[in-house]
Structure 1
């Protein structure tokens, strides 16, 4: 079976969202008993060590960055730091499903950013589908109610940082390995955590908490790699809406782990979000079939019935 770039991007995005959400669950539990900076440092050291081992296993002999990519890496790293700290601050204070719902405004923001900054074409059908998905997000967040507070604003700031991070990622040279980007990101986030220890005291870590941090590290590595791969293939307007799949994981884990079962409007909003993601995929599939048929007609070859 041959996958198009957009299909591969969709698969990478879906896997990234699942692993990031599991990581979020671990970190939400851990930061209830450990200072935020300490949790970031321990997870960061584990993540960096594992990434270096992965790079060695892949035969990489250096993590050298070409001059053309260094400025982009600087912008991406700064955006990653901003996104990490604002997201984790909000995560400590908000239900997992609520925070995930706010983060689902990313597809709309990233798509608009790509259309403006990268001049990528986005048809009206895709824009309509993403806008409808964002309406589903509003059903979950419900601005003006008690659920929308200062931590919701912090989460929205995190969204802005992630938009910068993702659009920067798409501009890296194709020869730059995704694991190299992940290694530099991990180094930066770990150093940020170390700087935070200047104002927070180190707390003894129980074995159970250490195990959760190890789990978070594994999920974070997978998330780093798959999100980079997702943003480097396919069209942003097609791939980005599949960030919505994170909401399903957040609702499920929030219910099973934190006993936070979503309300009816939250479930309705989630259903709308899933429907728009599926529509976007089906729309892309139809376009690819038309393109294949057109090419076949030009070359005089027949396309098999599917």
Structure 2
């Protein structure tokens, strides 16, 4: 039976989230033996080679002229900040907690679009944003008993990632996606090598860790390509909510691989964040439908 575009899009999105969750789990495992800088450097080499090879195979132009684009440079800086802070969070807090906090990204992007791009956001979506960030507070538990300062790395990662996504919206469509990806992975690699000595120096890499580094590169690349196929293959309002399947994978991995037992505050907070995000997607789809209907109504003749 042939699958509809929306069904294919949803499957691609769910697959992408599984790939990203597996990547994050391997990175967390690697931080037990290697510094964040070393992971960034070695994985950066592998990702850069992979993206360059695919670009050559597809005949994608990799003109250096795009690398002077201020928005491309700004996006790369935000990506670098997001990588450093999220890897730091993975190394220090529970896997499920870090993944739960990251679920607030759509809310952060909506907030940033309203504040910086003046995109219209009604009171319902403002309410969803506030409620969603309340859910984040439940996860990080900012009290004297349960608060983990390291959880702020995940919050910072949300801010950097939201800024990256908002900057990406403003980059000209003439700039090839693979060019941006290649430049970003190259810069992350260079910064990783520069930080190896300050972060403790080079550590021997076992064969098992080499394998995980290779798999993380493949997982990240596959995840990004699956997201592109998902967003191009189905309706965004239908496909986008499947991003939240990443939390299901994160909870399963946290329990089975890392032996975690997420507390009630993490589970309740994650549910609030996801509920707020889904409501935001719903309101955005309703607004798009209403706008389309308004545009379709012919003006009254005088």
Q: Does the alignment pair 1:151 with 2:150?
A: yes
Give the gaps of 5 or more residues in structure 1: 300-306
Per the alignment, residue 261 of structure 1 pairs with 261
Partner of 2:174: 175
- 1:247 corresponds to: 247
| Change over 3 Å in CA distance of 1:117–1:230 after alignment to 2 | farther
Taking a change above 3 Å as real, the CA distance of residues 289 and 32 of structure 1, as seen in their structure-2 partners, is: same
Structure 1 match to 2:218: 218
- Greater shift after overlay, 209-218 or 272-281? 272-281
Relative to the length of structure 2, the TM-score reads 0.81
How far 1:37 sits from its partner (Å)? 2.0
Partner of 1:134 in structure 2? 133
Per-residue deviation, 1:54: 1.4
Distance 1:102 1:277, change over 3 A: closer
Structure 2: any 5+ residue segments left out of the alignment? none
Q: Identify the residue that residue 107 of structure 1 maps to in structure 2.
A: 106
Alpha-carbon distance in 2 for matches of 1:280, 1:12: 21
- CA-to-partner distance for each residue in 1:158-211, whole Å, 9 max, x for gaps? 222223212111100112221111101100110011112233332222221111
Match of 1:25 in 2: 25
Q: State the 1:82 CA deviation.
A: 1.6
Residue 87 of structure 1 and its aligned partner are, at CA, apart by: 1.7
8 A contact 1:101–1:141 mirrored in 2? no
Q: How does 1:274-289 map to 2 (within 5 A)?
A: 274-287=274-287
CA deviation vs aligned residue, 1:134-155 (integer Å, no higher than 9, x gap)? 3322222221154423212233
Structure 1 203/140 Cα, relative in aligned 2: closer, same or farther at 3 Å?
same
- More deviation, 186-195/73-82: 73-82
Change in Cα spacing, 1:126 to 1:241, as seen in structure 2 (3 Å) is: farther
Q: Give the TM-score taking structure 1 as reference length.
A: 0.80
Question: What residue is the counterpart of 1:303 in the other structure?
Answer: none
Contact 1:107 1:130 in 2 (8 A): no
Q: 1:169 to 1:150 in 2, by over 3 A?
A: same
Over the aligned positions, Cα root-mean-square deviation in angstroms equals: 3.6
* Alpha carbons of structure 1 residues 157 and 239: separation in structure 2 relative to 1, 3 Å: farther
Question: Deviations along 1:33-70, whole A, 9 cap, x unmatched?
Answer: 12222222221111111111111122114243448x71
Query: Cα–Cα, structure 1 residues 52 and 228, in superposed 2: closer, same or farther, change >3 Å?
Result: same
Return the alpha-carbon distance in structure 1 between the equivalents of residues 156 and 273 of structure 2.
Answer: 21
Q: 1:83-128 CA distances to partner (integer Å, 9 max, x unpaired)?
A: 2112212211111122223333433332121112112122222232
How many Å separate the matches in 2 of 1:53 and 1:265? Answer: 45
Distance 2:279 2:296 in 1: 26
Higher mean displacement: 115-124 or 284-293: 284-293
Aligned residues: 293
Question: Structure 2 vs 1, CA of residues 293 and 165 (structure 1 numbering), >3 Å: closer, same or farther?
Answer: closer
Corresponding residue of 1:77: 76
2:237 & 2:127 partners in 1: Cα distance? 11
User: Within 2, Cα distance between the matches of 1:29 and 1:43?
Assistant: 14
Report the counterpart of residue 192 of structure 2 in structure 1: 193
* Residue equivalent to 1:91: 90
State which drifts further: 47-56 or 101-110: 101-110
Structure-2 residue corresponding to 1:272: 272
Q: Secondary structure at the match of 1:78?
A: helix
